[in-house]
Amino acid sequence: MHAPIGTGGQVHGLAPATIAVTSGRPERTPGGPVNAPVVLSSTYVSAGTPPPGDLLYARAGTETWVPFERALADLEGAALPGLVFGSGMAAIAAAMSLVPHGGRLVIARHAYQVTLAFADDLAARAGVEVVRVDIADTAAVTAAVQGPVPASLLWVESPTNPMLEVADIPALVAAAHAVGCPVAVDNTFATPLGQRPLGWGADVVVHSVTKYLAGHSDVVLGAIVVDDADLRARFEAYRTLHGSIAGPWEVWLALRGLRTLALRVGRSQASAAELARRLATHPRVVEVRHPSLPQDPGHSRAKRLMNGFGSIIGVRPVGGAGAADAVVDALRLWVPATSLGGVESSLERRRRFATESLTVPDDLLRLSVGIEDVEDLWSDLSQALWTLPEA
């Protein structure tokens, strides 16, 4: 009998779509389950000096995290298991702990708005100098990382949320490492199917698992993946000390969602490219941002570095913020909601949040394309845009 694949050990040499389905399965035993069970127990039987690695108490570790942590690491190309956290922000807070008091943080100016708020909080309570950069401008990021004094951490998001700028991650990693600065990449938008930053030398990858990885808008979860044992131990200790842990049901749901990642991402990316192409010539549209469009500033870089162009589109309708709100109101299929990466298509005007960066246009709609039929999505979008008066 051939050795089973993906049960227990790391998965080598398989395509990402296969890894998503295969990794983190239980050992293959006659009569055994094909899926990992959910174990609901806050504590474990133990007495005396606990042997290293034994499960003791569920804040420090539970078996229900293990299959997801293995599968995500395999998708990101990491030998070490990932670390699941209670939310994307909990994972981000852990990663940001690399910035010491009084350190310098260089961060994408259009990173997720709550990540930016976290950075501002570090500035206020820990004297951290926060330098916001255009992450697509490699020369500007390199200069910011170099200094006056070298940065303590470079925070990359690519494509950015919501402006969809595309970073040259390999070049940024080289520039940061040249001055001893570690690099963290929020890989939520691209997913590990779109890019694998650890393979380019990035030190830390973070995810809002809430989005594409779980994929059904029914859990809030985060994760970190690193391939350095000391760094992993540090983040694991952080998670235990801060208690920023995930519940077993959420992790089980995320693993269930992860199994269909390639199908969902493949479908939504293809639909996003088609919708972006049509939106670009719609008479009621001023500007469309999607890296698939040849005229998009991120196109050639995304083509070179990414596998696919992602499923988020930026659209500015004619008539300003009021018109953008009217489009949201006129849609019947697209769901007006924050968040992204679910099977359902959704959208929002980002500047409805007072906290969104002021460099994000007031009238920008962020569209998250789901897996519905693309013609149905187009009919709804197009009819909503046609309700707008001519400019």
Size of the site for ligand PLP (CB under 6 A): 14
By CB under 6 A, what part of segment 77-106 binds ligand PLP? 87-89
Strand runs labelled E in 232-369: 285-289, 312-317, 335-336, 346-349, 365-368
**Beta pairing, strands 104-108 & 153-157:** parallel
Q: How far is the CB of 187 from ligand PLP (least distance, A)?
A: 9
Using CB under 6 A as the binding rule, whether residue 210 contacts ligand PLP is answered as yes
303 included as an active-site residue: no
Nearby residues of 200 by Cβ (< 8 Å), 6 or more positions away: 169, 170, 173
The secondary element (H helix, E strand) that includes residue 326 is helix 320-330
Question: Is-catalytic flag, 186?
Answer: yes
d(CA 237, CA 59): 11
Q: Check binding of 136 to ligand PLP (CB under 6 A).
A: no
Residue 346's alpha-carbon distances to 106, 139, 267, 338, 380, in angstroms, are 31, 35, 15, 8, 12
Q: Which stretch binds ligand PLP (CB under 6 A): 12-20, 136-144, 186-194, 228-236?
A: 186-194
Query: How far apart are CB 359 and ligand PLP at their closest, in Å?
Result: 17
Which listed residue (168, 186, 227, 325) is catalytic?
Answer: 186
* Residue from 59, 109, 277, 278 carrying the catalytic annotation: 59
What x/- string results for residues 310 through 349 when contact with ligand PLP is judged by CB under 6 A?
Answer: -----------------------------x----------
Least distance to ligand PLP from the beta carbon of 118, Å? 10
Of 32-40, 175-183, 184-192, 382-390, the segment contacting ligand PLP by CB under 6 A is 184-192
Query: Degrees (nearest 5) of the Cα angle 67, 252, 82?
Result: 40
Strand 365-368 with 346-349, pairing: antiparallel
* Residue 186 interacts with ligand PLP (CB under 6 A): yes or no: yes
Residue 180 near residue 152 (C-beta atoms within 8 A): no
Residue 222 as a binder of ligand PLP (CB under 6 A): the answer is: yes
Minimum distance between the CB of residue 318 and ligand PLP, rounded to whole angstroms?
A: 27
- Out of 25, 70, 104, 112, which one is annotated catalytic? 112
By CB under 6 A, tell whether 161 contacts ligand PLP: yes
Give the residue carrying structure tokens 């259009």. 110
Give yes or no: 59 in active site. Answer: yes
If one asks whether residue 356 binds ligand PLP (CB under 6 A), the answer comes out as no
Cβ closest to ligand PLP, residue 89 vs residue 374: 89
Helix (H) or strand (E) holding 248: helix 248-258
Residue nearest to ligand PLP (CB): 88
DSSP code, position 3: P
CB-nearer residue toward ligand PLP: 88 or 103: 88
Annotation marks residue 109 as catalytic: no
> Could you tell me if 268 and 215 are in contact, meaning their C-beta atoms sit under 8 angstroms apart?
no
- CB nearer ligand PLP, residue 185 or residue 323: 185
User: What distance in Å separates the CA atoms of residue 139 and residue 37, rounded to the nearest whole number?
Assistant: 49
Closest residue by Cα to residue 255 from 111, 42, 70, 43: 70
| Among residues 191, 195, 208, 368, the one that binds ligand PLP under rule CB under 6 A | 208
Measured between alpha carbons, how far is residue 228 from residues 33, 183, 202, 234, 279 in Å? 32, 13, 11, 10, 44
- Residues labelled catalytic: 59, 112, 186, 211
Q: In the complex, which residues of this chain contact ligand PLP (CB under 6 A)?
A: 87-89, 112, 157, 161, 186, 188-189, 208, 210, 220, 222, 339
